[in-house]
């Protein structure tokens, strides 16, 4: 299979590394940052570093292009998105769990004040 020029490797390899191998790491990163009540900007920083690591693993193990700006950008956006989803899910869960007298669930990503508050 011919490598996709923008991704730096084949689509299958790119998706395997980005979603399966590094996707769980981005999700765990977002979860851990939210559990420490840190800003979502930390998710962006750490997931960008994960994207750089993904490019290196793609190069070292799958003979992909190391300096592929398109591949780095696409993988960084995917990993940042996964990390931010995890951050928001964890943040909402923690707000509801730690302040049950104030907040109630408003979907998986949010919370709202209770009617009696």
In this predicted structure, the answer to whether residue 7 has a pLDDT above a threshold of 80 is no
CB-count exposure of residue 80 (10 Å: 0-12, 13-18, 19+): buried
**What is the mean pLDDT of the segment spanning 31-37?**
97
Min mean pLDDT across 13-17, 33-37, 95-99 is at 13-17
Q: What is the mean pLDDT of residues 24-41?
A: 97
pLDDT cut 90: percent of the chain above it: 70
Range with lowest mean pLDDT among 21-25, 59-63, 87-91, 113-117: 113-117
Per-residue pLDDT, 12 = 85
Output 62 or 81, whichever has higher pLDDT: 81
pTM of the model: 0.91
3-state secondary structure at position 62? helix
| 82: nearest Cα among 37, 51, 38, 53 | 51
- How many H-runs (helices) and E-runs (strands) does the chain carry? 4, 2
State phi, psi for 16 to the nearest 5 degrees.
Answer: -60, -50
Per domain, the residue ranges of the chain are 11-89
pLDDT at 117 over 70: no
**Element housing 36 (H / E):** none
Rounded to an integer, what distance in angstroms lies between the CA atom of residue 75 and that of residue 29?
15
């Amino acid at each position: 299979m011919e490598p996709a020029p923008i991704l730096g490797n084949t689509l299958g390899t790119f998706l395997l590394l980005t979603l399966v191998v590094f996707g769980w790491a981005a999700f765990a990163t977002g979860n851990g940052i939210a559990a420490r009540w840190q800003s979502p900007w930390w998710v962006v920083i750490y997931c960008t570093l994960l994207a750089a690591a993904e490019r290196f693993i793609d190069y070292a193990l799958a003979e992909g292009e190391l300096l592929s700006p398109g591949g780095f950008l696409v993988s960084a956006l995917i990993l940042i998105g996964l990390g931010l989803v995890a951050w928001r899910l964890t943040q909402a869960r923690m707000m509801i769990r730690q302040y049950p007298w104030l907040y109630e669930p408003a979907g998986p990503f949010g919370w709202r004040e209770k009617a009696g508050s």
